[in-house]
Amino acid sequence: MGKTVLILHGWPQPVTKDSMYYKYFEENGYSVVAPQLFTKDFVLTQEEAKKYIEAKLAGRKPDVIVGISLGGLLVPVFAKDYPNAKLILIATGAKLEPQATGFRMLLDMAKHRKVLNVLNVIRFLPQKVLFAFYEFINPFRGNEAQREIYIKDMKDNLKCIVGIPIDEESEIVNFVSSTDNTELLKSLKNKAIIFTSNNDLMMPSNLGQELHRLLGSSQLVVSDGGHFDVFTQNNFKDLDKFLGN
């Protein structure tokens, strides 16, 4: 029986067959399970997400579990049941503690449903205004080459955000605001590799360093990218070494 990888995506982009992560694991002989987390099929809590994703695994035990940003907040509840699974944690932490002031303000306001309904109108603003608002909540740090990647990621993110219903956005806000895996992470024995960045203002490097401290069998890879490029094509060599490909 072949190897299985479970990939848990971040907000707002799902991992599709066109994703570099999906392609990498498929090319290395893995069966890829990459469920859509923002769906009406379940309420986004750790308990309900686990039931939903276990059904997608259909009895398969993951050899590798990947958590990207928000998806990383779900990884520990699976890792405790699959202690032999290797963990790949990208731009994530035990909890969400952003350094970006605009994003913190937005998150606090969005906890109130009436305010979230008003914020929902922002997605329909003219593109120029929308881009400016996006940069306010997720500021850019980096060089010109990185800015091109940031702009593309911003456009892709905004397309996905428009497609997420307001009820799902409310669940996402509640989930990231209430999740803290610190105690659970202390108990895990899984081998792990953690990718973090000095310029990530959404899931800053201190969260990656804390993950490294909490997970005794982990290694830490630190870059100078932003949240949008904590992990790049160059990092697949780190995965090759970690996974023994």
Does the pTM exceed 0.85? yes
- Omega before 14 within 30 of 0, i.e. cis: no
State how far the alpha carbon of 92 is from the alpha carbons of 3, 8, 73, 179, 188, in Å. 24, 11, 7, 12, 16
- Calculate ∠ Cα 111-116-120, nearest 5°: 150
pLDDT value at position 234?
A: 96
pLDDT value at position 1?
A: 61
**64-68 and 86-90 strand pairing:** parallel
Q: At which of 173, 203, 218 does a domain end?
A: 173
Q: Would you say how long the chain is, in residues?
A: 245
Tell me: do 108 and 155 sit in the same domain. yes
- How many structural domains comprise the chain? 2
Q: At which of 147, 173, 199 does a domain end?
A: 173
pLDDT value at position 123?
A: 76
- Are the CB atoms for 29 and 1 separated by under 8 Å? no
Containing structural domain, residue 108? 101-173
Q: 3-class DSSP state for residue 208?
A: helix
Tell me: do 91 and 187 sit in the same domain. yes
Report residues of the chain scoring pLDDT below 70. 1
Q: Tokens 């929308």 map to which residue?
A: 130
pLDDT tens digit string along 56-109? 999 999 999 999 999 999 999 999 999 999 999 999 999 999 999 999 999 999
Q: How many CB atoms lie within 10 A of CB 18?
A: 7
Tell me: do 151 and 187 sit in the same domain. no
Q: 245 burial class (0-12, 13-18, 19+ CB within 10 angstroms)?
A: middle
Query: Residue 158 is encoded by which pair of tokens?
Result: 């905004």
Distance CA 243, CA 174 (A): 34
Distance CA 98, CA 96 (A): 6
Query: Residue 6 is encoded by which pair of tokens?
Result: 């479970």
pLDDT value at position 152?
A: 95
pLDDT value at position 57?
A: 97
Q: Tokens 């570099």 map to which residue?
A: 20
pLDDT value at position 124?
A: 80
Query: Residue 197 is encoded by which pair of tokens?
Result: 């960045």
pLDDT value at position 22?
A: 98
Q: At which of 173, 193, 213 does a domain end?
A: 173
Q: Tell me the CATH number at 231.
A: 3.40.50.1820
- Are the CB atoms for 91 and 230 separated by under 8 Å? yes
Q: 88 burial class (0-12, 13-18, 19+ CB within 10 angstroms)?
A: buried
